[in-house]
């Protein structure tokens, strides 16, 4: 499945093209550059995020090509040189890419994706990389929060009809599955990405029949192994649950089928599920599951569980597929170095009136430091590309906010986070099965301290710069200050 069988090469910001044209005119067409993809703050005030979207980025880079129609359109703009348009006819990504695998827990200000390529090529892929990284990481992170809030109860993604377009629905379901959601109502996501699809009935099914019981009985007869009955079309306690019990008794019990459920999509969930559980148990259906939906998010889920709601599974729509409480992830793509003709890498830095927008320069790599005794992640260290972390001796790191505070880590293992994805334009990375990415996400979250996963005021996970990188950054800042 290659970007849903479309050529998305022209899905770029126009200035990617004007800059590429300009690079060629200025003699920078063969200038190698280094760009980092990173983000500055965690969604929803949380302590972490989940990386997603890499598979689509890989497909896009592999399929980059301009058609004659594309070139003719650009010629019609009247601002591009013919040399540049000829260049686009044979355009192909020939650079290098490193990235963390999908499902990796990530933190602000560390490179998640690194691109080394000639300036026009590196600049051109910016828009699509950010679009996929920002969207899918946003949804995967939101899904992860909801799954954690559910405390082991199943969650299905129900949001296609609220998604902001087809790709948002399809790839949002994919990202949600990586983040830990167990299924989706979006059938095409199952067909293309093997996200398990699920679903039973809408209120219209119940309304279609002469009465509620007939609707339930017919459904049980047609789908005896998948009988989840929507009980709130009319009156949950007076008719919905009694009619569901009656249908279960008449259709499922004689067949010896114990797989059944009811679903609530409105009302006071805590009150209704508590009453429903009592009614089902008294009728002998203590094995019947209770599924709830209706504008849920991680905060509502936590609250109703604390209140004693009797829920076995959740269906979550708009607040997951749009990440409604924090819909913008905020990943950026910044130049961090250029390569001289002799191969020397020259670091570059961007400064700003806003200190949080000052970039970390140079071609870098990231290590995650794991405690050997308990397997917990203690810190990430961002290094210059030619540095190696020696975990055979104590590692000293700085507090992310107070550089005078130091922490010494002993008996640890340093693991590189990024893997090489492209080598000189050739894909060298095998894209994992989506279930593998989902398992990685779960394992990564398990390796985090509970203080980092805390809902309110989570602990700031240590993301430290190596001493070498810190000195390079400090030197660049001093030079820039002295020029002013």
Domain boundaries defined on the chain: 3-139+327-483
Contacts of 51 (CB under 8 A, 6+ apart): 99, 100, 101, 102, 103, 104, 105, 106, 112, 133, 137, 140
Instruction: Say what the pLDDT of residue 407 is.
Output: 82
Q: Are 143 and 181 in contact (CB under 8 A)?
A: yes
Q: Distance (Å, rounded) from C-alpha 233 to C-alpha 398?
A: 58
Q: Model-level pTM?
A: 0.95
Q: Are 96 and 40 in contact (CB under 8 A)?
A: no
Domain 3-139+327-483 belongs in CATH node 3.40.50.300: no
Q: Distance (Å, rounded) from C-alpha 462 to C-alpha 455?
A: 18
Q: What is the DSSP letter of 316?
A: E
Give the residue ranges of DSSP H helices in 26-110.
Answer: 54-62, 68-76, 82-89
Q: Distance (Å, rounded) from C-alpha 215 to C-alpha 84?
A: 65
Contacts of 313 (CB under 8 A, 6+ apart): 153, 154, 155, 156, 261, 289, 290, 291, 292
Instruction: Say what the pLDDT of residue 3 is.
Output: 46
Full pLDDT tens readout for the chain, 484 residues: 444 467 899 999 999 999 999 999 999 999 999 999 999 999 999 999 999 999 999 999 999 999 999 999 999 999 999 999 999 999 999 999 999 999 999 999 999 999 999 999 999 999 999 999 999 999 999 999 999 999 999 999 999 999 999 999 999 999 999 999 999 999 999 999 999 999 999 999 999 999 999 999 999 999 999 999 999 999 999 999 999 999 999 999 999 999 999 999 999 999 999 999 999 999 999 999 999 998 899 999 999 999 999 999 999 999 999 999 999 999 999 999 999 999 999 999 998 888 888 999 999 999 999 999 999 999 999 999 999 999 999 988 876 555 556 788 999 999 999 999 999 999 999 999 999 999 999 999 999 999 999 998 999 999 999 989 999 999 999 988 777 5
Instruction: Say what the pLDDT of residue 353 is.
Output: 81
Distance of CA 106 to the CA centre of its chain: 10
Contacts of 222 (CB under 8 A, 6+ apart): none
Contacts of 426 (CB under 8 A, 6+ apart): none
Burial 70-93 (b: 16+ CB within 10 A, else e): bbeebeeeeebeeebbebbeebeb
Q: What is the DSSP letter of 447?
A: T
Mark residue 197 as left, alpha or beta (left: phi above 0; alpha: psi -120 to 50; beta: remaining): beta
Instruction: Say what the pLDDT of residue 400 is.
Output: 55
Instruction: Say what the pLDDT of residue 399 is.
Output: 62
Q: Are 104 and 417 in contact (CB under 8 A)?
A: yes
Can you state the angle between helices 126-150 and 434-446, rounded to 10 degrees? Answer: 60
Structure tokens at 181: 């959601």
Give 140-209 as a 3 state SS string: HHHHHHHHHHHCCCEEEECCHHHCCCHHHHHHHHHHHHHCCCCEECCHHHHHHHCCCECCCCCHHHHHHC
Q: Distance (Å, rounded) from C-alpha 171 to C-alpha 225?
A: 29
Task: From residue 209, give the alpha-carbon distance in Å to each of 229, 247, 249.
Answer: 14, 14, 20
Angle at 168 between CA 102 and CA 231, to 5 degrees: 105
């Amino acid at each position: 499945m290659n970007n849903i069988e479309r050529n998305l090469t022209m899905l770029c910001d126009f200035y990617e093209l004007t800059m590429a044209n300009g690079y060629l005119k200025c003699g920078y067409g063969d200038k190698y550059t280094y760009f980092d993809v990173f983000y500055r703050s965690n969604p929803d005030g949380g302590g972490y995020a989940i990386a997603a979207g890499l598979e689509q980025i890989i497909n896009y880079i592999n399929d980059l090509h301009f058609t004659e129609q594309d070139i003719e359109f650009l010629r019609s703009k009247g601002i591009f040189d013919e040399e540049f348009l000829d260049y686009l006819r044979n355009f192909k990504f020939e650079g290098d890419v490193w990235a963390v695998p999908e499902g990796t827990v990530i933190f602000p200000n560390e490179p998640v994706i690194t691109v080394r390529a000639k300036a026009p090529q590196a600049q051109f892929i910016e828009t699509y990389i950010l679009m996929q990284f920002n969207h899918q990481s946003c949804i995967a992170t939101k899904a992860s929060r909801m799954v954690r809030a559910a405390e082991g109860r199943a969650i299905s993604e129900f949001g296609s009809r609220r998604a902001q377009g087809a790709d948002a629905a399809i790839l949002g379901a994919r990202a949600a599955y990586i983040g830990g959601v167990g299924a989706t109502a979006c059938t095409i996501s199952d067909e293309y990405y093997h996200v398990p699809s699920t679903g039973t009935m809408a209120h219209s099914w119940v309304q279609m029949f002469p009465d509620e019981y007939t609707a339930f009985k017919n459904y049980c007869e047609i789908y005896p192994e998948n009988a989840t009955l929507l009980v709130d079309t009319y009156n949950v306690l007076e008719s919905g649950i009694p009619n569901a019990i009656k249908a279960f008794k008449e259709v499922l019990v004689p067949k010896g089928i114990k797989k059944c459920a009811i679903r609530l999509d409105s009302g006071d969930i805590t009150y209704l599920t508590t009453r429903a559980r009592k009614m089902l148990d008294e009728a002998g259906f203590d094995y019947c599951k209770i599924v709830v939906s209706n504008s849920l998010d991680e905060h509502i889920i936590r609250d109703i569980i604390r209140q004693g709601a009797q829920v076995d599974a959740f269906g979550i729509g708009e607040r997951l597929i749009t990440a409604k409480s924090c819909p913008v992830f905020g990943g950026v793509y910044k130049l961090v170095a250029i390569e001289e003709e002799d191969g020397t890498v020259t670091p570059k830095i961007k400064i700003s009136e806003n200190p949080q927008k000052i970039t970390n320069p140079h071609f870098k790599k990231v290590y995650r430091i794991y405690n050997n005794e308990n397997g917990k992640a203690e810190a990430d260290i961002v290094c210059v590309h030619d540095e190696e972390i020696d975990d055979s001796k104590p590692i000293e790191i700085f507090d992310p906010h107070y550089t005078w505070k130091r922490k010494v880590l002993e008996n640890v293992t340093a693991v590189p986070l990024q893997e090489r994805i492209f080598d000189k334009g050739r894909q060298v990375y095998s894209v994992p099965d989506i279930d593998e990415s989902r398992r990685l996400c779960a394992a990564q979250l398990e390796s985090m301290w509970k203080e980092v996963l805390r809902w309110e005021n989570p602990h700031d996970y240590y993301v430290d710069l190596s001493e070498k990188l810190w000195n390079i950054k400090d030197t660049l800042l001093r030079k820039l200050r002295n020029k002013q």
